Structures are given as structure tokens and as C-alpha cells.
Chains A and B, each alone.
Chain A
């Protein structure tokens, strides 16, 4: 840490908040609030004279409030950079510190918060985690019984730099405890509080037990656990070592802790599930191994940086397996436990990974993006006419679309990932996606449905999942109906209602609307946009009295080739079950309605070329030479 602070290219800003982030990958503009510490950072040499003379004492957060600190303080003696701060809320303005500082003149009570804008290339978020407050669990009595302490309090009590210089004493009578219990999963794996497993607590409990046993060999230690999880390298061996040292492991989650009011000893009620018997054992001290939870201000950080959260409040990564340190916004990376709970080796690995990912951006002059971005036809956007719309901005999962009154919507190119949600959602067809324009999709549909469309099953597949599923069905030789005709779009969000209308207008027998499963979407919330639209379409077709099953919504992953073939075969059965005349009359009956609904699509630029192109394509397919593969 000291080396980092000394490095010429590393600038450590402490006591500073990130207020706003604007811009995009490589070109972020970040507003920082440098909070007033009432000490001039360039003059303070960290001698600590101000702290010595300060008459005010407040609880020390770093020592888990087990010891006091002064109003003029550093968080801990190893702080980097070593600069004192005057706690505004505690200071009584006696100015003794000013006298003590003397000729250095480092203390400045007139200092105020400073707002500064900085140009930033890439951002790494490493905000970590917080610990769960077990006082909300009434049965464990934390904060009511003095001898029930948390793991972090134990950490300070057991630390040679801590308030007791490493002498383990219990809070009620300052005596050394002889019987200690450690309770695991306090607030974690508990649906009432936090459903997740906090990842490192099992090892943490064992580490603490081994450490305490080494320092106090007469101490009896029992660990209450539900399951001991020791998955990483060397962990199981460490668990074995703890057992060998005589640490007792009791399987069973305690349901109640009671206190003897005279001795302040504690009784833990639990079922020893390996014996199937109730046990009520007496201890001098109990340590609660509490859950790890997200930081309390995680919501404001995620809104400042535009990072989504996964359930529980952890920051969402781009892809859980393949891009675990990238956030969905290009140029912003996630290191350590803010993305999900990690032990030290994993946190270090993710930190190193983010450093190299961020370095890629800093070392390149140009940044390549996918060419499939969205573009706005400014003359078609109603915002330019002063009307209020903003549908596209609401559909964008990346916040790439900027809406200003009186101006056409504009796409921040570097932020666009090309899901096409805005393109399909725009009620005026004022946005197009490069390489997936309405005209291109339209000409593909026309070509594929040129012959006997009533026999065809037309499938819209998303690039990442359903297209892969169809591919797998092919490579695995799963039989499915040869009447299936499919096209690829990037996401189910791009599946414009106009496409579905157009497919039915062209006389398709059935249409499949397929995409990723909701939790697997590669565009954060793209599938949700698509699913909402698909449900709306389904209701519409019900109202128009279309035969049920001709329009079908299915979420198929790239691993579900069997599901893809099954769905297509089922749709074939639906078409086969309808008598030919009835199907034809239904198609004819719906045609005018579909044409009316898809009318806006025909106005989009490039449509005239699409018609000639698809006609040429059909003609080429039908000529003998192409058919024979020449």
C-alpha cells in the first residue's frame, strides 16, 4: 500500500466521493467530491501532535467501537497516506490542535468540500462488502448479552495491535474465557435475512479457532455449523488440522442463546443432528460468525456508475463465467467482493484481472466495438418536433440513448451493444440497427416465405441462445420438421412486432418467438423487453381469434437442442391439425389487419431495395444452376 502511494503514476485520493460519472469507455468524465478534512494534505506530515492534545474522545469504528479515538484522528496507524482528519461532528473547536501543529500550519478550519472534474480512461469498482448486524436476530441476544460478540470484534480482541494487545478477555468481567463457542451462518443461508452463503466464513471460523487455540491452549472451542464448506486448495487440510487440535465441531444450528444473569455465562440450545439429541451447553463467550452483506450505499454507487445489481445487491458482471470482472458498461470493471463474495485469493485474482482489463483500454488509442449499433433517423424521431416520447431510452439496458427535449434522440455509439431493443420499441420506426435493418429482415422473410408459406414455421431466434439451440439440434442430428425457416437477430428485444405481423401477412403457417431464458440474457434486460412485447402480441392474436399455437413464445438456451426440435415438431403438429381450407381462410382473414399494423415498416428507408433484392434472391434460388449447387 505504501509502495502504491509512492508510485509516480498512482494517485491515492482518500476521503473523496465519486459524485457523477459521464461519458463512455476511455472518455469518462468523473466528478469527485474531496471532503473537507480540515487538515491541509500537502502540509500534514502525520506526526500526530494534534491527536495527542485533542480533548474529545469518540468510539473508534476501526476497533469495532471497543476503543476510543480522538476528534483529530487517522482511521488506523497504518493508514495510507498518513494524513490526520478532524471529525467535524465531534470537534468542539477548542483549537488546541492548531497550537500543537505550530509552525507546520497544517490545520485549516475554513476548508470546505471541493468538487473537481477529472478525465478518466477506465474505472475499477472495488467497494467491498459490509458485515451483517446480528442484533436483528433476537434469539442470539447480540447487544443484549455482553459476552456475545461478532467475528470482527473477536478479530480486534485477538489482534496484538488491538485494544487489548491480543489478550482475549470477555466483555462482562474482563476475565479470560475458558469455553468459547463459534456460531456459523449468522444471518447467512437464512431466508429471513440473507439467503446466500457468505463464502469465506467456514474457513474464517476455523482460522480463528486455530489461532485462538495456539495462543490460549487451555481454551475449549466449539464450532456450531450447518455444513462446513472447504472447497479451495489446502482448505480441507486446514479443517483436518483444526480437528486434530481438539476443536469441537457440532453439527446443528443453535436456536436460542440464554444467559445466566449472575455469571453472565451463556447457554446454547441446539440439536446435535448427528446424534439426534438436544444439547444445552454452557460457554463463557460466544462469537457470532456473521454474514457478509453489500455496502449500505450500494444503490447510490450503482446509480452513479450505471451498473445493475444482481439479487441481494451485488454488482452485476457482464457474464458470470466468461467475463466475470467486466461490468455491463464498457470501461467499468468490478474487483473483489462488490461483485459477489470472495475470499482473499479470489479477491486478489479478480483485482489483478481488472487491472489488466483496464490497462487494455489505457494502452490503446482506438477502441473497437461491434458494428451492429443502433442509429437514429433524425427526421423521423418525434422528439425533434418537440413531442415527448423517450420509449427508446427506456428500452435501452445500457443507458446509451440520450433524450433531450426538442432534439432527436441520439445514441452514444461506444455504449451501444446492439441488442436492438430500441429499434423494435420505437413506435415511429425512427431507429435502425446496422446489419439488422428492417429492410434486411424484411427481405429475408420475403425470400424464405416465397413458396407455400402456409406450410412454413417461421422462427425468430436470438443470436446467443436460441440460434445456438437450433444449431445444436442440427449438429446433434435431432430430427425436426423440414418446414422450419429461421432467421437470426441479436436479441429477442429486436423482434419487432412488425416482423411478426409481416410474417403472418406473408402467410406463414406458424411463427416462433424465441430467445434466452430470462436470467441468461446477454443484454441485461433485453429478454425482458422482448418477453413483455411477446406477451402483448400473444394477447392480440387471441383477440383476433387466431388458432392457438400458431404464434408461440419459447425461451431456449444454446444447450437445449432437444427442446428446439421438440418445439418445432409440436408446432408442425399444430399446423397439420388445421384443415387446409380453414388455415387458408384464416390467413386471408388476418391479412388486411396485419398489413394495417405493419404499415409503418414499409415507410422505412431502404424498403424498396429490399423488395427487389428478395425477388432476385428467390429467382436465383429457383434457377436450376443454383439448385444443383453450381
Chain B
């Protein structure tokens, strides 16, 4: 009996560019122990486990996992992988399929304030993930139509670079509850590094 083509998560994924070697993973764990995100940011992040879930066609689990959304495509794992699997491409593929299937990203991605955005395009230039595009509206301005920044929720990695450069405070990361805490920890980190540098 032959499977219907494209019926399973693994079959759809393997057709995407860079995802050809998804079956080759033998679960050695090199990618996980090489990953800076796993170690510094999110212990639940585990590309090895995601690859296993893909192999077993666990669609809902893979799409709701945080792993595909957090990958920054630094490709340290790709260099270390003994099976030469392009893991970041696979994670990106899963993310794409998840968004198409109606799952939303769990990251606090950037949001544009339509009322104050002047369409200067600074955020578009500064975005490292090419997630921001300028979209034309029907509001006339100086003989042309007003442009407004738009964020692609699939590409945004919530780094905040756009928010830092914006002149009119029109683009910001959605949640800011932990900002005080973050600043505290950053201060303490800076102090320790300064002290160690003085040593």
C-alpha cells in the first residue's frame, strides 16, 4: 500500500528546500548541546526531539512546540551535525507549515501602531530577519499614499531592533511585563563582567 503523497508532516516537510535530510537524524544530541538558545534562553527548546516528532508524524506536537519559533539560524548545529542535517532549515520549514495550519507564534513579536507610524522605513532596514515591509495605505500624504510598516509574524524573532530605532515609538514588542526584571538582570550581568574585566 502506498501512502498518499504529501499526506503526512514528514512527506510535506521533506519536499521543502534544505529539509531533504530530515530522516537522517540518529539522535546523537550534538545539536542540542551545541545550541546557545537551549542553554541560555529556553531549556524546553530541543531540535533533536522535534526531528524525532517529525519522523513519527506528530503534527500537533511539532506545531505547538516552541522549538521552531526560537531558532535564530546561527547554524552552529549544522556545522557540528555528523549527519549534515540543515536543522535551521527544517525548523524554519516546520514554522512555515505551522503558521499555514493556523498556529500562531508564541513569541512576543513586534507590533506597529498604525496611528503614529510615518513610514520612514528605518525599521525595514534594521530588521535582521527581513520581517518588516512597508505597505501602502489609502491615506494620501504629500501627493502619494502613506506607507505603514507591517510585520511578518512568521519571520519576526522578537529581537526588538526595530523598536529601538523607531523615531516615533510606533513599533514595539508586544509584552513588556518583565522589562524591569530584565533590566535588573542585565545590570547585574554587566557589573560582574566589568569586575572580571578589571581583574
User: Which positions in A face B, CB cutoff 8 Å?
Assistant: 139, 185, 189-192, 226-227, 251-256, 269-273, 276, 278-279
Contacts and interface: CB of A to CB of B under 8 A. Distances in A.
B82 A273 contact: no
B107 interface: no
Contacts of A226: 26, 28
Interface stretch (B29-37, B89-97, B150-158): B29-37
Nearest to B49: A276
B80 A271 contact: no
B30 A255 contact: yes
Contacts of A279: 33
A191 B34 contact: no
B74 to A, nearest CB: 13
A308 B101 CA distance: 52
B82 to A, nearest CB: 4
B27 to A, nearest CB: 6
Contacts, number: 55
Contacts of B27: 273
Contact of A253 (B29, B39, B43, B49): B29
Contacts of B34: 255-256, 269
Nearest to A250: B29
Interface string B4-46: 0000000000000000000000111111111000110001001
Given A271-B48, A278-B38, A192 B82 contact: yes
A252 B28 contact: yes
Interface string B153-191: 000000000000000000000000000000000000000
Contacts of A189: 26, 82
B192 interface: no
12 contacts: A139-B80, A191-B82, A192-B84, A226-B26, A255-B29, A256-B33, A269-B33, A270-B33, A271-B48, A273-B28, A273-B29, A278-B38
Given A276-B49, A278-B38, A278-B39, A270 B29 contact: yes
Contacts of A192: 82, 84
Contact of A252 (B29, B38, B46): B29
Contacts of B84: 191-192
B130 interface: no
Interface residues of B, number: 19
A278 B30 CA distance: 10
Contacts of A271: 29-30, 32-33, 48
A139 to B, nearest CB: 6
B145 interface: no
B82 A278 contact: no
Contact of A255 (B33, B43, B46, B49): B33
Contacts of B49: 276
B107 to A, nearest CB: 22
Contacts of B39: 278
B193 interface: no
A243 B157 CA distance: 45
B116 interface: no
B83 interface: yes
Contacts of A139: 80
B46 A253 contact: no
A255 B27 CA distance: 13
Nearest to A185: B82
Contacts of A276: 46, 49
A199 B49 CA distance: 28
A140 to B, nearest CB: 11
A278 B45 CA distance: 11
Contacts of A270: 29-30, 33
Nearest to A273: B29
A273 B83 contact: no
A599 B160 CA distance: 78
A192 B29 CA distance: 16
A253 B38 contact: no
Contacts of A278: 32-33, 38-39, 43
A272 B30 CA distance: 10
Nearest to A194: B82
A136 to B, nearest CB: 13
Contacts of A256: 33-34
B24 to A, nearest CB: 8
Contact of B80 (A185, A255, A272, A273): A255
A173 to B, nearest CB: 24
Interface in B23-80: 26-34, 38-39, 43, 46, 48-49, 80
Given A139-B80, A191-B84, A278-B39, A253 B48 contact: no
Nearest to B28: A253
B199 to A, nearest CB: 13
Contacts of B82: 185, 189-192, 253
Nearest to A271: B29
A254 to B, nearest CB: 7
Given A185-B82, A191-B84, 16 more contacts: A139-B80, A191-B82, A192-B82, A192-B84, A226-B26, A252-B33, A253-B29, A254-B33, A255-B29, A255-B34, A256-B34, A269-B34, A271-B30, A271-B32, A271-B48, A273-B28
Contacts of B48: 271, 273
A593 to B, nearest CB: 40
A272 B26 CA distance: 14
Contacts of B80: 139, 255
Nearest to B76: A255
Contacts of A272: 29
A191 B78 CA distance: 12
Nearest to B26: A226
Contacts of A252: 28-29, 33
A251 to B, nearest CB: 8
Contacts of A254: 30, 33
Contacts of B33: 252, 254-256, 269-271, 278-279
Contacts of B83: 191
Contacts of B26: 189, 226-227
A139 B77 CA distance: 12
